[in-house]
Amino acid sequence: MQTRQLGPFSVSAIGLGCMNLSQGYGAPITDQQGERVLLQALDAGVTLFDTASLYGFGANESLIGRVLKTHRQRFTLASKCGMTGVDVNGDGKLVRVIDGRPDTLRRTCEASLRRLQTDVIDLYYIHRLDKTVPIEDSVGALSDLVRKGYIRAIGLSEMSAATLRRAHAVHPIAAMQTEYSLWTRNPEIAVLQACKELGVAFVAFSPVGRGFLAGEPLQPESFEANDLRRSMPRFEGSNWEANARLLPAYRRLADEVGCSPAQLALAWLLQRAEHIIPIPGTTRVDHLQDNLGALDVTLSADVLVKLDALINQHTVAGSRYNAQGNLDAQTEQF
């Protein structure tokens, strides 16, 4: 397995985003199916597993804790705080709340440690910026957790280059996690360069464009009611029609290279820079194996030029998030 550096950790060049095992794209899969994916990933050499307290409102962390606790020394464990499920109305229904207050982050970490059945979380991200709390205060709280031995390294998710620099001045930031793929280029505005300058790993989530670049035909009108993509403008109406027209040429490029469409997307990311680590998610073992096959794909300069010209911020129609999602993410916008 090829490796890349993430703070103090040497991790597999492709990690596993675990959210899909509990939520995101339709009905959750069974725990047995999730267990198969996690153990197959571990056996295939994946050593970076990425979860969050938000995913399934704790269910994802609980799954990972149950399945992987006996293998804890074999992988780097990443989780997130600062965006959790809260019973706001007192009716037993959890809703997503962004809360970066130090006391909240400490309580979230303690709960995550219990669910993950571990004494320490290797990499702990602040999931989203709480715009009512200075980032220095939130990072300061995580710095205390490092000193106490609850976490080993600190990360940020979906934040700007300016916020990264402010956070890094308080405590070294090991990783920035943000959506990045051929069809989501926002990190190229400033964050990728800031990460390179500061020695911060860049962890790319949704590296195959939420399935858009995975090769299998998508039919947004058939997405289940709880599929996140139902609220994403790129999968709606005329935006989707325009984006779908990009796919035939994209698939032809994959055929030209001799790889799958998902491998093409991942290989493109891997060749962008050495500090980029994609974490595709999947609920299927065959897709997991296909994703990891990207490590054996090398793209020529000519193919890279064609890819960049075909799918980029100018050719993709629609925002990646709806209005609320764009407010929650602090990343730079084109």
Tens digits of residue pLDDT in 84-94: 888 888 888 88
Q: How far apart are CA 100 and CA 108, in angstroms?
A: 10
Nearest to 151 by CA among 77, 60, 240, 49: 77
Length of the chain: 334
- Report residues of the chain scoring pLDDT below 70: none
- Looking at residue 215, its pLDDT comes to 79
**What span, in angstroms and rounded, lies between the C-alpha atoms of 49 and 79?**
8
Burial of 332 from C-beta contacts in 10 A (0-12 / 13-18 / 19+): middle
Separation between Cα atoms, residue 204 and residue 210, nearest integer Å = 12
Task: Report the b/e string of 142-172 with b at 16+ CB within 10 A.
Answer: bbebbeeebbbbbbbbbbbbebbebbbebbb
What is the per-residue pLDDT for 54?
94
The active-site residue out of 25, 55, 124, 250 is 55
Please state whether 252 falls in left (phi above 0), alpha (psi between -120 and 50) or beta: alpha
Which residues have CB under 8 Å from 281's CB, separation 6+?
Answer: 16, 17, 18, 19, 20, 21, 24, 205, 206
Burial 252-273 (b: 16+ CB within 10 A, else e): ebbeebebbbbbbbbbbbbebe
Residue 150 falls in the annotated catalytic set? no
Q: Are 22 and 59 in contact (CB under 8 A)?
A: yes
Q: Which two tokens stand for residue 20?
A: 């899909």
Quick check: 159 and 140 in contact, CB under 8 A? Answer: no
Amino acid at 250: Y
Residue 89: the pLDDT is 83
- Give me the amino acid identity at 246: L
* Per-residue pLDDT, 26: 81
